[in-house]
Structures are given as C-alpha cells and as structure tokens.
Amino acid sequence: MKKTLLWTLMVLTSVSTWSDEGMWMLNRIDQQTADAMQSLGLELTPSELYNPDGVSLKDAVVDFGDFCSGVVVSPNGLVFTNHHCGYGAIQKLSTPEDDILTNGFVAHKYSEERPAEGLFVRFLQRTEDCTSRVMMALDSVYRAHPDQEARELNRHYADSICRAVEKEYTRANPKLNCQVKSYYGGNAYFVSIYKVYRDIRLVFTATETMGKFGGDTDNWMWPRQTCDFSVFRIYADKNGEPAEYSQDNVPLHPKRYAKVSVDGYKPGDFCMTIGYPGSTSRYLSSWGIKERVDARNVSTIQVRGKKQDVWKKFMDADRAVGIKYASKWASSSNYWKNSIGMNKAIADLNVIGEKQKLEKQIADWYKGRQDLENRFGEMFGELEKAYGERYDAIYAQGFYSETFMRGIEIFRVASEINRMPQDIKEEQIKATKERLANFFKDYDAKLDEATMAALLQNYREQVKDKKYWPECYQLIDSLYAGNCEAYVKDLFSKTVCTDVSCVDKVLADSTLREKDMALVYAQGIPDKFMEITGGQSNNSSIINYNEHMLTQALLEMDQEEPHYSDANFSMRLSYGFIQDYTSQGTHYDYYTNSQSLLEKAAKQQEIEDYKLEGDIVSLMQKGDFGKYADKNTGDMHLCFISNNDITGGNSGSPMFDGKGRLIGLAFDGNWEAMSGDISFDSSLQRCIGVDIRFVLYLIDKWGGAKNLIKELHLD
C-alpha cells in the first residue's frame, strides 16, 4: 500500500498534456501544460486560469444545479447556460395560461425576473489534494485487518474515509460545501470546496422551437442550428453572501465575470472549455465496455423507446400534459439516443478491439517481472470471470431499473407513502405532502396507467428468467390470467395514490397499506431489486478492485505520458481549436449559418422538430445581423465545432478564445463519436457550441432586451 501511495503521488505531480484529448484539473496545470496551450493560442497564464488565493477565470464558471455548467457574464450576476439546462426550471414556471416554455420569456428589469425554486449554482473556491490522507487511512485499515482481501476493505471503508475527510473540511469551512471525490480509478483523491447560491431567477429564454430546434431528429448530430441558451441571475444578500430567496436580496456582484466577445473565430483558432463534465469511463476494461453495450445500454434503448411511444401520444393530445412531461421527455430521450449512438460508435470504431490491444500491451509489460506479476498477474483473469458471472443479473438489473424505478411513476408515490412511519410527526406529514404536491404538479395518471401496462408486459418479454420478476407478476398471472393491462386498470381505479389526499387517507386507515393495490405493488419492487443487486456484490467487488488495478497498471506503464482522470463532475478544462471534420466521405464545415436554418425550417411540414415561429423566420430572412455577423465570412454564424473533449455535464460550459473571452456555449457532441465517454477519437470527436453572437442576436433583435445587451458591456 505504501509503495502504491508513493507511486501515485509521483505520477500525479508529473502529469502534463500536449493534445486536445483530456479533461484536465485546473489546479494541476504545470508549465509544460501551459506552454502547450499557449503554443495553440492561449494568452493567459496558469494563475489567470486558476488562483485559489486571488481572482481567475475559474471564478466566472459555475456548477449549474449539479447537472450542468454555466458562466457569469456581467458584474450583476447574469449567468448564461444552455436552454436544455434551464429547461426544468422554465417548465416549472410555465402554465397553459402563461406558457413561457413555448413562447419564451424576457425580463426587462429586475422586478420581472422569476425565482426558479430549487435551482442553485456553485462557485468553486479551491481544490486540494487529499490523496495521502485517504490512502494512509486505508493503509491503517489494511494493517488492522491483515486477513481480509484489500478489495473488500476498499469497498467497505473508502467511502466512509472520504466522508470523514469531508466533515473535517466542513468544520473548518462551515459556510461552504466540501466534496471529496476519487480520481484515476480510486488511485487519488481531491477535495473541492464550493460556495453555493440558492436564489436563482429566470431572466430570458427563447421559444422552445429555437432553444430545442432540431429536437430528437438533430440531437447528437452535426450540423446544428439550435440556439441552445437560457439566461438566469444569481441573487445574494446585501453583503454578497448566499441567502435563501428574499425580495430583499440583490443581484450578486461576482469576483470575476467572463467578457463576451463578438470577434468570432476561424479554423485553427484556440478554443477552451471550462465546466463540469459528468462521467467518463476511458480506463474501463474491454469486458466492462462489452457489458456496457450488451447489458446496460440495451435496456436504456429498449425500455425508454417503449415508454416514450406512450408518452408522445398523451403529450401530443393535450398541451397541459405536454408541459408537465416536457422536462421528463427531454431527459429520457437524451440518454435514449445517447445509448443508441454509443453502441453504434463502439462497433464502428472497433473500440473493444482497440482496448483488447492495449490490455495485451499491459500483459506483455508486466510479464516476467515478478514484482509486477505479483500485483497485476491475476487482474485480467479475475475481470473476465467476474464480468461473465454477473452478466445475466446486470442485464436484468438494467431492465428492472428502467421499468420499475424510472418508468412507472406511481411507484414513487406509493413508496413515499409506504415509508411514512406509524408515529409520523406533524412536520413530517407537511414535508411529505409538499414533496408529493411537487410531484403531482407534473404528473398525469392516465399517461402513467398506459405506461405501466406497456412496461409490465415489455419486462416479462425482455427478461425471461422469472427469478428476476417482482411479486406483482404472481398476482397478474393468478388473478388476471397474465393480462398486465387488466391488472393495471384495476390498480389505478382502486388506489388512493393519484393525488396528495393519499397521505391523509392512509393515516386515517392503516389497513390501506395491506390492501391498496399500488401500495402493495410498491412494497415488492425494492425487495427484488436488492435481491438482484445483492447477488452481484461479490463479483462487483472483484470488478471494482481489478478495474482500479488496471488503471494503476496503465498509469505506471506509461508514467512518462500525460494521463487525465475520468470525469466525475468536478471542474475540468479541455482545450483544442476550431476544426471541421470528414466522416465516411462527407465533409462537415466548422460552422452553420442562417441559410441552413431557413432550409430546415422550410421542411417543418414534414419534420415536426424543424418547426419555427414566423417572426424568427422573418428575422433570419431579413439578414440584418449588424455587429453579430461574422467578420471573416460575412455570415451569421449559428453554431460551431471544436475538437475540445467534453461529455454530459459540460452542457452550458463556456467556450473561450485565447484571451479568455466567451465565444460560445457547449451543448452537444457529434453522432460519429458517440463512444467518446469510453474512447476519444481525435479525428472525429467534436464539441458543438452555440455561437455567442447568435445568442446575443436573439436577445437583442427577437427579445428586444436592450437592458441585457447594455449590461454585457460589449466592445
């Protein structure tokens, strides 16, 4: 363990980068890295990018709601992020009578800005290396339990040690949020310290047709014309400190905000993103990739496809239902199409084959070297065996999660009721009712009934082994002759779990827990899930430990080469340059223009996702783009691509030029490289961003928000 610790620390202090691949920690940028970026056109120093003791560019970038990224663009706390990042907040603020999701929204003064309940942003204060503290604590555990496997001790103690370190930091920083996360497959640990602001207000959103232009048709595709942005503002108390929503709060005056540029870009220009990429698996073994493709992604694709078919019928038939389910649909369909594209790209680019070649190189490296064989010699054999033994269970678990935990919504209501204690206190009753009221605001029982019937039937068809079936199927087969639809119709007609009154009804009649069909149904769902996951625990422990060892072996074998840690929703920097690409004989330019938008809009009768309001079409046809037109091409640039390395969570990340000025907002990747979370292909992988000039044009010419344009202090 001590040898591993010393080696890990040595590698991490020597890491540098030279290519556009990589999601790099800002606090680890050394001079060699800075030189590489500056050779491509960066004019900022490392301390101007990250300076925990002063002001730097990282202070303008925010974690937006713990699911996206954003950037502060004015001295009054104005935040730009993607439309799809603000989508949930916009949807919650919409009603059929005031449908800002469809029609857009513009606040011309502070008093018109609308509080986005539940939304927050976090500013990173600093990131510190705590590897030695975690590793030494684990080393003490190993010494105290010499007879136990290291992998078992890791599984039981690593998380609790991280939480203990978090508590130490929190005691020292009681007003801040502190998070310890593992890096490099558990070979290193860092703590990130944040300041969290919770009074966030909606300032501007374009129409849904513009913010989502292209919809599912164009999602994960290039070329794009989507103006994927929304605008919020951060509010604070009079001292600039975080505070819950209050009319007395004032716009935040941030330490740093990003200068917005209308100068544009051209091919080969430096481009840098800073944001919060969610999760990648670049160090995953070939067996892990195969499991991801065949056992995990397949359930996301298959079940969500069925669910979305049902949802669409109800959403199209009733606009009120469409508003309720708009955000849910966006989330579901995004990862549905992502999984389809990932599986295709992994096959097309032979990702598994390339990983197998790398694994052979690692095996050849340690072969014949006794000290290395002692550490890594059994690694591949254990991975192959453990992945093989848990395959069926993982396949079933994927379908189970997508069907019963994510697909059938009444389960959430019934579970909430089932968890209520018999001696529940008044404040707990109030909290439960508030949670359910928020849930029912965006719920339609008829839609859920149809979804449940379809998904129950689908699960029994896709998962043949009855040992993976929950208890409800026994009832369906014995009392309903296997007819899932009849069972579901009965359940919804008799249950109390279709509105908030269910809380009082169950409290008044405790026997409902044993006879209400939805409550009985929900009781059996977690038990079977725990049985499925519990049966994999030993193999999962073996896999986690040996994947950790595989990462360690790769880093040690190539310790002279730069290596970045997988994304884990901590702040990262990626860099590269504006670049077009060619795929399967088709060349794709580096930007799209207004004409390409008009060409797609002309197809809106055949393709619903290309629907566009007449006033926006008229604006584009006029061609009066003024200062927002590109100085190099004369066109109005809508979206553009760079070879920056991004993934989910990077949505809303600022795209900076070499001077650190904002030129766009990252919002997507391209179809040809959808395997990017597992393997980066520099010739194909592209970051798609909305040009900031397109954003400004809509704010100015469509929204008439001169107040916001003035606030940005454009040159």
Q: Please give the positions annotated as active site.
A: 84, 228, 651
Give the number of other CB atoms < 10 A from CB of residue 691: 26
The pair of structure tokens assigned to 548 is: 């950790």
- 70 three-state secondary structure: strand
Half-sphere exposure of 588 (CA within 13 A, CB side): 26
DSSP states along 366-429? HTT-HHHHHHHTTHHHHHHHHHHHHHHHHHHHHHHIIIIITT-THHHHHHHHHTS-TT--HHHH
Q: Are the C-beta atoms of 76 and 715 separated by less than 8 Å?
A: no
Query: Phi first, then psi: what are they for 225, rounded to 5°?
Result: -130, 15
Rounded distance between C-alpha atoms, residue 236 and residue 658, angstroms: 31
Rounded distance between C-alpha atoms, residue 311 and residue 366, angstroms: 53
Left if phi > 0, otherwise alpha if psi is -120 to 50, otherwise beta: which for 15?
Answer: beta
Task: Count H helices and E strands in the chain, helices first.
Answer: 28, 20
Location of structure tokens 């206190």: 425
Enter the DSSP assignment of 335: H
The pair of structure tokens assigned to 408 is: 């059938």
Q: Are the C-beta atoms of 235 and 201 separated by less than 8 Å?
A: yes
- 611 three-state secondary structure: coil
Query: Phi first, then psi: what are they for 680, rounded to 5°?
Result: -90, 125
Cα angle value 503/524/428 (rounded, 5°): 25
Q: Are the C-beta atoms of 279 and 568 separated by less than 8 Å?
A: yes
